[in-house]
Amino acid sequence: MIRQSKSSISSLEIKLTTNVLKREFLGMGQEVQEFELAIQKFIGTKKNVICVNSGTAALHLALLALNIKCGDDILVPSITYVASIQAIKAVGANPIFCDVGKDNVFIDIIDLQKKITKKTRAIMPVHYAGDSSNMKLIYQFAKENNIKVIEDAAHSFGSFYRGKRVGFFGDAICFSFDGIKNITSGEGGAVVMRKNKSASFIKDARLLGVINDSKKRYTNNRSYTFDVKHIGFRYHMSNINAAIGLAQLSRFETFSIKRKSIVKNYIKHLSSLKGIRLLNLEWDNMVAHIFPVRVLNNKRDQLKNFLLKKNIQTGFHYMPNHKLSFFKTKKIASLPNCEVLSKELITLPLHNDLTIKNQKYIIENIINFLNDYN
């Protein structure tokens, strides 16, 4: 089976995690601090980088740090991973589902204008597939309306925006390092936070709110006498996970070259085909996390099954969240582009170990399918 996505683990990840295991200091310590500094350097930022144990935890803590509370409304695209929505729910806020652009699956600016009310406190744009080229409009919109921005950058680690790595610009940028993201730490995530006060909140909140425990742990110590001044969780990253992350980050350039060449090849062979439409993203600036395409004429599920019979696994990113039982409310008006995309989107295989031969086989089968069915 050709997998749609997978982790890519070398001897380096094994070596660095083995070192942690042998040192017998598995919790949060030296490696976590090293990973945070390495991410900071990679992005080229002086902003705070705080590692946590998932991208969802990163979003949750970023919302808390920006003082998002029960009853606040947060604008969010309906097509995103359920993690974005559950993070909003976790602080007791209301996700206000917005439509997305049909050709970029990015939160729709015109719909934002319609959905904003006095209760709106923030917007959570998602860098779908890794594209953040419309973030300028988001910050402009946020400024005009005096609301906060929490970027779900789970797909865009290592991508470029205005000539800098994602995370360089912006106030609160959340990354995920789960098993299949652009880099993985096994499970994990990070918040890049502009304001020092908010960053300091997150550093404590990831360790049950224990004041300054982060600093202690970096020197392989911990706090036995301490104070707690606000809510906290067990959201910190372990040295084992950080070791995997450090190895992956040092391999990033190889990953980037590989992902870019796969994307380029898909675009070259698929862009002129009738029956499918590629998304209009700024691919050249991206290290794409996924390669979704739109299958027209109601043929998506047929293509998916056809490819599966040829041992090619595909994905679907994502079901519109406003349709899920827990998030559904009577008030939600239809989101026309989300409706269309939920029937059209299919994600083709894209990962670091996809061979040229296998990609050729995928492309041939898509062409065969379209020839037979059109």
Query: Given the rule CB under 6 A, which residues bind ligand PLP?
Result: 54-56, 80-81, 83-84, 126, 152, 154-155, 176, 178, 189
The answer to whether the beta carbons of residues 65 and 205 sit under 8 Å apart is yes
CB of 316 to ligand PLP, least distance (A): 13
CB of 108 to ligand PLP, least distance (A): 17
Of the two residues 348 and 370, which places its CB atom closer to ligand PLP in the complex? 348
- Please name which of 65, 74, 87 lies closest in space to residue 230, comparing C-alpha atoms: 65
Task: Please name the residues in contact with 179: beta carbons below 8 A apart, sequence gap of 6 or more.
Answer: 7, 186, 187
CB of 17 to ligand PLP, least distance (A): 18
- Give the span between the Cα atoms of 81 and 279, in whole angstroms: 18
Question: Pairing mode, if any, of strands 120-123 and 148-149?
Answer: parallel
CA angle 90, 190, 134 (to 5 degrees): 85
Compute CA 30 distance to the chain's CA centroid, rounded to the nearest angstrom: 25
Of the two residues 178 and 204, which places its CB atom closer to ligand PLP in the complex? 178
Of the two residues 13 and 365, which places its CB atom closer to ligand PLP in the complex? 13
The answer to whether the beta carbons of residues 245 and 35 sit under 8 Å apart is yes
The answer to whether the beta carbons of residues 190 and 58 sit under 8 Å apart is yes
CA angle 191, 193, 198 (to 5 degrees): 110
Task: Please name the residues in contact with 172: beta carbons below 8 A apart, sequence gap of 6 or more.
Answer: 62, 65, 66, 148, 149, 150, 151, 191, 192, 193, 194, 198
Of the two residues 55 and 158, which places its CB atom closer to ligand PLP in the complex? 55
CB of 358 to ligand PLP, least distance (A): 24
CB of 150 to ligand PLP, least distance (A): 11
- DSSP reduced 3-state for 68: coil
Of the two residues 138 and 366, which places its CB atom closer to ligand PLP in the complex? 138
CB of 66 to ligand PLP, least distance (A): 17
Of the two residues 86 and 256, which places its CB atom closer to ligand PLP in the complex? 86
- Give the span between the Cα atoms of 114 and 335, in whole angstroms: 12
CB of 189 to ligand PLP, least distance (A): 5
Q: Which residue number has the CB closest to ligand PLP?
A: 55
CB of 126 to ligand PLP, least distance (A): 5
Of the two residues 81 and 161, which places its CB atom closer to ligand PLP in the complex? 81
- Give the span between the Cα atoms of 19 and 26, in whole angstroms: 10
First to last CA, the chain: 27
Of the two residues 36 and 152, which places its CB atom closer to ligand PLP in the complex? 152
Of the two residues 299 and 322, which places its CB atom closer to ligand PLP in the complex? 322
CB of 23 to ligand PLP, least distance (A): 26
- DSSP reduced 3-state for 221: coil
